């Protein structure tokens, strides 16, 4: 059958020949079903794919007791649902930008070959829905499979996030990787006359496979649900027990105690009559007991069992598995200090950064971007500061010569102004090299005094004596000035004759 312009066939029987890189899976393939991978063994995990529908062995002995926790059941626990939706929504709201290298920095760019698919990944999802679907699949199933659609030039024009339960990695005997895909009308995987079963096998070049926590095999990711399934099961049990408790009128079950031995027939008659008169819609009615019968409750109350603390503990375990601060999903108190930027940075570094970096790298490789291009999620939508802090930060960056005024105005969604494209710095600031040059040239040495031009002024010596230029103490200031002028004129005349 043909899929997006490629000829895709079912896997041929063992012994057939073909190239590992061709689009026709003609080599014998080994399913990654948990049983065998090439010649190695991963243990008896069943034949339905790598944990395709259930999280097996949520606790020791669960398999023997036929207890299976499906992802759909675990997601019903409020802490799991809150963590998954919070992480996917926070990453989904970040715009995908195409970046190009300009010297030593990366700037936002546009390309007719790559920009359209980043703005609109497929015909039924916008980029926010697409990213959320990608992250949810990774968090709940441990794997995200994205099918590429190419045009006649071989350029990727659409991306489809597939149902991870309907995808299976395959490995040929020489190590080439293929993927078996079940029928999916939304993604365009439809059967034809030659393939009524709907399954197709595509090479790894047509699939973007983003996997999480590959604990057991490099091609098989493990969901965080694997680690928090028991906590979620306990939390659901607490909630179910509380619901049943209050549905019963907040009256626990118990036993009727007789003063002596009674027959089985009498015990059954008392039990049936008790349930008929005081159970169901009749709960809460007054019971009259005779023959010294006594009623003793068995189930502990919510106070005795400390259900609130137990429920809080299970929620904290779930948050720790997803690396989400508890206060962000309503578990525990929020930090007392008011610093939105620091809280967001902590949440980003310990929870979101790995998912974001992996998404960007998988997208770069999946779109086969040239070395001068890369994709980047705009973190401004996540690490947003309060207005006062943002303005102060921008003012400091502009005043320190780091950013140009127009760059700061752009962060505030303001238009550029004339002359604001150049970073500025105050004139009195000098570089360390300039200061070092000044110090090496003895800038603090005292220069020779310049000759004094003008009439001499009388100065008094420390012992009360007079200046040598003074004729006597009785000479007036005008007489001293006249005498000084005569000497100056005579000196100039002698210089002219010389």
Tens digits of residue pLDDT in 206-238: 999 999 989 999 999 999 998 998 899 889 888
3-state SS, one letter per residue, for 406-431: HHHHHHCCCCCCCCCCCCCCCCCCCC
What kind and span of H or E run contains 149? Answer: strand 143-150
The per-residue pLDDT for 14 is 36
The per-residue pLDDT for 67 is 65
Cα 450 from Cα 315, distance rounded (Å): 85
The dihedral built from the CA positions of residue 8, 10, 15 and 16, taken in this order, carries a sign that is: negative
What pTM was computed for the model? 0.66
The per-residue pLDDT for 16 is 36
* End-to-end Cα, the chain, rounded Å: 116
Tens digits of residue pLDDT in 44-91: 333 334 444 444 455 556 666 666 678 888 899 999 999 999 999 999
DSSP designation for 313: H
Phi, psi angle pair for 276, to nearest 5°: -70, -40
The per-residue pLDDT for 53 is 40
Task: Write out the chain's pLDDT in tens, 498 residues.
Answer: 445 555 554 444 333 333 333 333 333 344 443 333 333 333 333 333 444 444 445 555 666 666 667 888 889 999 999 999 999 999 999 999 999 998 888 888 999 999 999 999 999 999 999 999 999 999 999 999 999 999 998 999 999 999 999 999 999 999 999 999 998 888 888 876 666 567 889 999 999 999 998 999 999 999 999 899 889 988 988 888 777 767 665 555 666 677 777 778 877 877 777 777 766 565 656 666 666 677 766 565 555 567 788 888 999 999 999 999 999 988 888 787 766 777 888 888 899 999 999 999 999 999 999 999 999 998 877 766 567 777 888 888 888 888 888 888 887 788 888 888 888 877 777 778 887 887 887 766 666 666 655 555 555 554 444 444 444 555 666 677 777 767 766 665 555 555
Phi, psi angle pair for 186, to nearest 5°: -65, -35
Contacts of 103 (CB under 8 A, 6+ apart): none
**Per-residue exposure over 365-380, b if at least 16 CB sit within 10 Å of its own CB, e if not:** ebbebeeebbbbbeee
Taking CB atoms within 8 Å and a gap of at least 24, the contacts of 357-361 are 358/210, 358/212, 359/91, 359/131, 359/134, 359/135, 359/210
333, burial (CB in 10 Å: exposed 0-12, middle 13-18, buried 19+): exposed
Cα 306 from Cα 312, distance rounded (Å): 10
The per-residue pLDDT for 39 is 30
The per-residue pLDDT for 41 is 31
Cα 327 from Cα 311, distance rounded (Å): 15
Helix 127-141, helix 78-92: angle, nearest 10: 140
Cα 42 from Cα 30, distance rounded (Å): 13
Contacts of 45 (CB under 8 A, 6+ apart): 33, 34, 35, 51, 56
Identify the CA nearest to 141 among candidates 177, 169, 165: 165
145, burial (CB in 10 Å: exposed 0-12, middle 13-18, buried 19+): buried
Cα 326 from Cα 60, distance rounded (Å): 27
Identify the CA nearest to 13 among candidates 25, 3, 1: 25
DSSP designation for 224: T
Cα 251 from Cα 305, distance rounded (Å): 15
Contacts of 480 (CB under 8 A, 6+ apart): 455, 456, 458, 469, 470, 471
Cα 87 from Cα 489, distance rounded (Å): 94
Q: Domain ranges for the chain, please list them.
A: 385-445
Cα 57 from Cα 60, distance rounded (Å): 6
* Sequential DSSP letters for 69-122: B-HHHHTTSHHHHHHHHHHHHHHHTSPEEEEEEETTEEEE---TTTHHHHH--S
Residue in the block written with tokens 């909630």 = 239
Q: What percentage of the chain carries pLDDT values higher than 70?
A: 65
CA angle 376, 189, 50 (to 5 degrees): 75
């Amino acid at each position: 059958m043909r899929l997006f312009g490629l000829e895709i066939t079912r896997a041929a029987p063992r012994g057939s020949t073909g190239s590992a890189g061709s689009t026709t899976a003609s080599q014998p393939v080994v399913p990654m079903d948990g049983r065998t991978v090439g010649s190695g063994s991963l243990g008896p995990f069943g034949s339905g794919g790598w944990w395709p529908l259930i999280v097996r062995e949520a606790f020791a002995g669960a398999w023997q007791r036929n207890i299976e926790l499906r992802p759909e059941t675990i997601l019903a626990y409020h802490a799991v649902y809150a963590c998954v939706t919070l992480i996917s929504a926070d990453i989904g709201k970040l715009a995908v930008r195409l970046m190009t290298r300009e010297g030593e920095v990366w700037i936002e760019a546009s390309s007719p070959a790559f920009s359209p698919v980043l703005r609109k990944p497929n015909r039924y999802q916008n980029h926010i829905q697409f990213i959320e679907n990608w992250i949810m699949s990774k968090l709940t199933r441990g794997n995200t499979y994205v099918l590429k659609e190419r045009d006649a030039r071989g350029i990727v024009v659409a991306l489809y996030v597939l149902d991870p339960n309907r995808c299976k990695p395959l490995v040929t005997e020489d190590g080439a990787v293929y993927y078996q895909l079940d029928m999916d009308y939304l993604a365009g995987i439809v059967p034809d006359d030659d393939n009524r079963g709907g399954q197709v096998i595509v090479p790894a070049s047509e699939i973007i496979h983003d996997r999480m926590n590959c604990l057991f095999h490099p091609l098989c990711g493990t969901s965080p649900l694997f680690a928090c399934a028991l906590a979620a099961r306990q939390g659901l049990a607490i909630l179910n027990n509380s619901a049943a408790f209050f549905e019963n009128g907040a009256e626990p079950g118990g036993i009727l105690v007789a003063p002596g031995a009674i027959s089985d027939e009498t015990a059954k008659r008392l039990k049936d009559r008790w349930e008929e008169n005081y159970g169901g819609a009749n709960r809460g009615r007054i019971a009259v007991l005779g023959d010294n019968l006594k009623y003793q409750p068995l189930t502990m109350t919510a106070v005795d069992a400390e259900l609130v603390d137990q429920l809080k503990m299970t929620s904290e375990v779930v948050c720790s598995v997803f690396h989400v601060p508890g206060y962000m999903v309503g578990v525990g108190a929020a930090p007392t200090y008011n610093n939105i930027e620091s809280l967001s940075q902590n949440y980003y570094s310990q929870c979101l950064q790995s998912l974001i970096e992996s998404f960007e790298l998988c997208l770069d490789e999946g779109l086969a971007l040239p070395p001068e291009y890369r994709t980047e999620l705009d973190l401004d939508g996540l690490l947003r500061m309060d207005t006062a802090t943002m303005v102060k930060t921008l003012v400091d960056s502009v005043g320190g010569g780091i950013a140009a005024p127009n760059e700061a105005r752009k962060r505030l969604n303001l238009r550029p102004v004339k002359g604001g494209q150049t970073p500025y710095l105050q004139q009195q600031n000098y570089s360390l090299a300039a200061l070092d040059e000044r110090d090496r040239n003895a800038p603090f040495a005292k220069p020779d005094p310049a000759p004094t031009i003008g009439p001499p002024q009388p100065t008094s010596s420390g012992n009360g004596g007079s200046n040598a230029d003074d004729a006597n103490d009785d000479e007036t200031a005008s007489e001293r000035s006249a005498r000084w002028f005569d000497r100056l004129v005579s000196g100039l005349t002698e210089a002219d004759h010389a």
